[in-house]
Copies of this chain bind each other. A is one copy, B any other.
Amino acid sequence: MARFKTKDGLPTLKSIAERTGFTANTVSQALRNSPSVARQTREEIRKAAREMGYVHNVVASSLRSGRTHTVALVFGDVSNMLFAIKIRELEEALRKRGYQVLILNTDEDEALERRAVHTAISRQVDGVVLCPCQKGVEALELMERHRVPYVLSGRYFDDVDCDSVVWADYQGGLIATRHLIGRGCRRILFLNGPAFISSARERGRGYRDALAEAGLEPVEVSVSAMSGGVRGALDEIRARGVGYDGIFAFSDLIALEAACWLQEHGVGIPDKVRMAGFDDILSHMCIPFGLTSVAADKTQETLITVDMLVRRIEGRQEQRGKRRTMDVTLVARTSS
């Protein structure tokens, strides 16, 4: 049985209008601080609204105004700490700009991603922050067709021209690998993400270029971002008899799993194997070493993302898609 909230005596603009003697429209304007309402009138209306416990009905407002003040955050998985951190920061930054966030998980699955974007559109969100699974561009097309402003976060498409905020992935791969080489590693295993993800390709390029500089050979495997794949990959590498004295991981989460595996197999870090990760989301943890990682200023990244999106939403947008790249630095810790 559906509930009809406003049937049960909850105040609306109309009831405030009746009580104060003004019209609903004037009440609406007064509550929105329109300058065309006399100061005294405004105060009288606001007082009445307060006393009656009025709560603005955003649904009705949205229908008429076409603005929902809502942004959908479409990410792989909230429980992935990297995403959790991003979502937390985005929520805060967007809240300060007057937007609420709708969370939609894709599980890195194309169909779910498409459905998530569809949901966002049907809810008339003002904008979308999307970390695309990159298995297709249907979701993007859907947003384009419905003219929903969006910004890609963390990944981009070579052949699609749209707003995106990414890290300097190539640079990150380069400096992390150089760092391991500088620490004496001669055979560095790269536990990379899937190749269809732009950041994985870029980091891979950086990794290979750094090795080439030093005249070393790459040993690269691709593991699934969703957990489970790392151990299997390491088992397999051991079975193949491949040795290594360094590990560079696509993400800190992959590095963490690898560290567990190494520990269980009695391989000391950093004595036997030096490690570096990416994302710098474990900075407050000791496992028991601190994990060396490629970092960027996440707060600034969030601000840029939000700014870009809000610009689009509020119509001050530029024509072409803009790609912003966040500078990265290497935070060396005891793991290397």
Contacts and interface: CB of A to CB of B under 8 A. Distances in A.
A124 interface: yes
Chain A contact residues: helix, strand, loop or mixed? mixed
Nearest to A282: B285
B146 A66 contact: no
Interface in A142-179: 145-147
B79 A88 contact: yes
Contacts of A286: 259-260, 263-264, 287
Nearest to A67: B2
Nearest to A107: B92
A314 B1 CA distance: 6
A77 B2 CA distance: 31
A315 B55 contact: no
A8 B58 CA distance: 23
A6 to B, nearest CB: 8
Number of this chain's copies in the assembly equals 2
Interface residues of A, number: 62
Contact of A81 (B81, B119, B146, B263): B81
A91 to B, nearest CB: 6
A310 to B, nearest CB: 13
Interface in A313-329: 313-315
Contacts of A146: 5, 10, 55
Contacts of A3: 66-67, 147, 313, 315
A47 B17 CA distance: 45
A288 interface: yes
Nearest to A1: B315
Interface in A60-75: 60, 62-63, 65-68, 70
Nearest to A87: B78
B79 A123 contact: no
A124 B10 CA distance: 12
A189 to B, nearest CB: 20
Contact of A287 (B53, B87, B119, B288): B288
Identify which of A60, A65, A122, A123 gathers the most chain B CB atoms within 10 Å of its CB.
Answer: A123
Given A55-B121, A88-B105, 14 more contacts: A3-B66, A3-B67, A3-B313, A57-B122, A59-B68, A70-B102, A78-B78, A79-B84, A79-B85, A92-B105, A100-B123, A101-B103, A103-B103, A286-B287
Interface of A: 1-6, 8, 10, 53, 55-60, 62-63, 65-68, 70, 77-79, 81, 84-85, 87-88, 91-92, 100-105, 118-119, 121-124, 145-147, 227, 256-257, 259-260, 263-264, 284-288, 313-315
